Structure formats: structure tokens, C-alpha cells
Homo-oligomer: A and B are copies of this chain.
Amino acid sequence: MQIERQVIPRVIPWVICIFASDAVYGGPLDSWNDTAAKKAIIAFVEKVTHEGSPDFVPPAERIAVFDNDGTLWAEQPMYFQLLFALDRVKALAPQHPEWKDSEPFASLLKGDVKTALSGGEKAVGEIVAATHAGMSTQEFETIVLEWIATARHPKTGKPYTDMVYQPMLELLEYLRANGFKTFIVSGGGIEFMRPWSERVYGIPPEQVVGSSIKTEYEVRDGKPVIVRRPEVDFIDDKSGKPIGIHSHIGRRPIFAAGNSDGDFQMLEWTTAGEGPRFGLIVHHTDAEREWAYDRESHIGQLKQGLDEAPQRGWTVVSMKDDWARVFASDAAK
């Protein structure tokens, strides 16, 4: 829904009032401990929404971008989309008897992901082509929705969408209630996230930016389809993130949240703009409730971000210290 800019200030009180009475998420940022990180977020939002303040930002420019893997949901022991691909290889194996003798599939089918991925980019390309391409976009959406509804995480046994971070859901909601438009900007596949992003995060497909493969428009038996081709189109990671933001959103965000050095340029681009800006890094410090990893991790490596956050004024959120609750599926305290 599109609302004229001048109308928004008059609508907001009603929207906030309605949100408060719905109380879907409890109070704002309820799962955040009362630490410096939470205070910094609230101070920023109050500052940019306070009309007449020198830091006031008109609603149309309140763009907030969020990485997905490791920022909105977990990413261990490997990216969930890779686990999806592995499940697809198993499901498709009966139609591909030749996979038993050819890498990377032979190792994958034996459960040896490490050997399978030792083939590097070529191996990943073959897995993507076999599991993500060759079907129409509608068929792929159906496959993703079925998987997301039935698959279980290998360690927690939970549905993957239960492994989204409750404090981040509250942050998304808090920003939207204050007139922000929230976007996902992820290295993950754009079409892998879109089918469920609205239900899980309240973020509609048109506000999801991600990596993509090429597609082609065809008319088959009089019915138009968009077909997914086994060729990379765009990688929305590192320097690709500002490019993806610019291509899809067309203006610079004022708020960015990530968790790894793949988000460094997105945070840099966002916070280098003029006026008030907020950069947030989710630091995985909680080996008990989630995972603890950063500088040396093979997934979600965070090194440059940790080193430069202080001088760049970015807020580093420690899962262990700043979050009262981690997963949406955990009981509220």
C-alpha cells in the first residue's frame, strides 16, 4: 500500500494505536535486555522521527536493510539454503542414478558435505544448477514452501522458521511502527526467501533483495512462464550489497543490520550517508543458546566489522548480553 508522503504524519498515530492494541509482539523490543545497544536503537528512532528535530528524517526516506543469514535467522552448522539444496539432491537422486558416481553429488549423497564442497565454485555451481534451476519460478516457489513447512534443522530438530531471532522480529516491527520501510538484503537466493518472508518477517517479496540466477520468459502451450536458468545473474554479497540496494531500492538506507564481513560494504554505504545513520552488527557470542563464532568461522566470518565498528560508530550487539531471548520459538521470559 502506497500512502502519499504528506498523509503519513496524520496516519501514524492511528497505526501506532492499532499496533498497540494488537500487541502481537508485546512491548517494543521486549526481548532486548536494557543495555546500551537497546538504548542506542531507541535513541536513534526517537531522534529521526521527532518532527522539528534537526535529525528528523521524512518517512519516505526511513529505509532499513537487514541481512538474513545470521542476522534474522541462524546460519549454523551451514547456511540453511545449502541444507535445502542437500535435501533437494536427496529427493532428486532417484531420477539421477548417474549422481552415485559423479562429484559433487556422490559425496553429498553419502552425507559428506566437506568433500562435496572441496570442488569449490564449480561444485557449488553444479549443486545450484541441479537444485535451483530448470523449473519455472512458480514450481520453485512450491518446492521452497513445501521444504520450509516440513524440513527440520539437523541440530535443534525445529522448523527453520522457528530459528528466527525474536529480538530482530521485534526490531523490524518497532521500525515499521515508526514509519520505516524494512528490506532484506541477503547473500541468499532472492527466490528462496520471498515465498515465506512476508509470513515470517512481515517483509513482502518486493522488499527482498538477494542473489539471483538468470530467468527467461517463455510462452508454453499458450501459457506464459518464467523459467530459471542454471546461470548466476547477481551475487548480493560484500560489494554486491550496495549495488543490490541501489538497484532495488534506489536510495541509501539510514539503518543497516548485518552479522558478518559480507555485510561490511552495506554497513559502510549506509552509514557514510549524510545525517543520522545506524549500523548494527549481530555478534554471535552465545554458545549456549545459539552459537559462538566470529573471526575464524568458516561461515559468517566477522573480523573487519569487529575491528572497525568502534571508529565507525556501529553498534555491536552481543547475543549473550543484549538479548533476553534468542529464538522466536523459545519461551518468553
Contact = CB atoms under 8 A, between A and B. Distances in A.
Given A15-B11, A251-B205, A265-B217, A246 B137 contact: yes
B243 A1 contact: no
Interface string A226-265: 1000000000000110110011111100000000000001
Contacts of A152: none
Contact of A11 (B18, B181, B207, B239): B18
A180 interface: yes
A293 interface: no
Interface in A18-77: 18-19, 22, 24, 59-60, 62-63
A194 interface: yes
A8 B240 CA distance: 34
A97 interface: no
A113 to B, nearest CB: 29
Given A7-B18, A224-B242, A242-B217, A1 B179 contact: yes
A269 B190 contact: no
B269 A242 contact: no
Interface in A245-300: 246-251, 265, 268-269, 272
Contacts of A8: 1
A208 interface: yes
A194 B10 contact: no
Contacts of A181: 1-2, 206
B180 A272 contact: no
A2 B202 contact: yes
Given A1-B180, A2-B207, 4 more contacts: A4-B24, A6-B22, A137-B246, A217-B269
Counting every copy of the chain, the complex holds 2
Contact of A242 (B15, B176, B226): B226
Contact of A180 (B2, B59, B242): B2
A265 B226 contact: no
A230 to B, nearest CB: 16
Contacts of A242: 217, 224, 226
A276 to B, nearest CB: 18
Contacts of A269: 217, 224, 226
A162 B137 CA distance: 40
A161 interface: no
Lowest 10 A-B CB distances belong to which pairs? A205-B250, A217-B239, A206-B249, A2-B176, A194-B250, A217-B242, A2-B181, A224-B272, A224-B269, A205-B251
Contacts of A219: 268
A176 B1 contact: yes
A186 interface: no
A96 to B, nearest CB: 28
A107 interface: no
B1 A3 contact: yes
Contacts of A206: 63, 181, 206-207, 248-251
A246 B226 contact: yes
